[in-house]
Amino acid sequence: MPVEALVSVLRDLADKGCHNWNLVSPTPWLPMIGQALNIVKRDVNKLPVVYNTSSYERVETLRSLEGLVDIYLADLRYARENTAREGSGISDYVKFSRAALLEMWRQSGQLETTPEGIGLSGLICRILILPGLADEACENIRWLADNIGTKIAVSVMAQYTPVYKAVKAGKWNRPISYDEYRQVCREVEKIGFTNGWIQDYNKQPNLKMAGFNMLAMKFVAREV
């Protein structure tokens, strides 16, 4: 798609009343996307730009986006390199993702919303609970608290579903258990996170937590 065509798509989304321009795994096309964003960000009818990423990013790449991206929607998938190698075929995910999250936080900070809960700017970190890896999810939650703080918005997800090669790949071939879900939710509560979302575990009643509303995908971020 030529840059001019992408500009037209972005303007059309704004005209239709979308809440943001959400770029999913956009890194390979950033030169063209950057040109398009520099054009539409000058429009009167402009939207927040969401950078939706696995967090396997170079810090230098993220620095080049400063001033263009408003909201970083980022993953923290693994806490140990051997698990990253087994699950995603890369051995340096932890190093790169954690450095990337620190840079995203430096640029965007705490999530800001309208009174209606529509995101305007900030960082959201997704924690996908993986089968047999609740300990790593908890380790990542502790890392966030120690290195960024509990004001960061977290999205704890219980939706892991094995497909494709995972169906025949040992520990990856099942959904998470309720005990694993409960372990991660309790860690979030114990550490004191209050901003973000916690997804329901569909097979059990909601786990009640003080200070964090456990309704499915309930939003608790700060308003501006």
Give the position of tokens 């009818």: 45
Which positions ≥6 away from 194 have C-beta within 8 Å? 150, 211, 212, 220
pLDDT for res 203: 60
pLDDT for res 208: 52
pLDDT for res 182: 96
pLDDT for res 223: 44
Please name each of the domains of the chain with its CATH number.
48-223 (3.80.30)
> CB–CB of 46/19 below 8 Å?
no
**CB neighbours (10 Å) of residue 71?**
25
Q: With a cut of 50, which residues of the chain have pLDDT below it? A: 205, 210, 213-224
- The two three-digit tokens of residue 135, written as one number: 């300990």
**CB neighbours (10 Å) of residue 84?**
22
Radius of gyration of the chain (CA): 18
User: Judging by DSSP bridges, how do beta strands 71-75 and 153-157 pair with one another?
Assistant: unpaired
pLDDT for res 179: 97
**CB neighbours (10 Å) of residue 55?**
22
Dist CA 93 CA 30 (whole Å)? 21
Cα–Cα distances in Å, from 24 out to 50, 53, 55, 157?
A: 8, 6, 12, 18
Residue spans of alpha helices (H) in the chain: 3-15, 30-40, 59-63, 81-88, 93-108, 134-147, 178-191
- The two three-digit tokens of residue 162, written as one number: 């094995």
Give the position of tokens 């090669």: 165
Q: Using CB atoms within 10 Å of the CB of residue 198, give its burial: 0 to 12 exposed, 13 to 18 middle, 19+ buried.
A: buried
pLDDT for res 169: 86
pLDDT for res 204: 54
Dist CA 186 CA 216 (whole Å)? 16
* This prediction's pTM: 0.90
pLDDT for res 86: 94
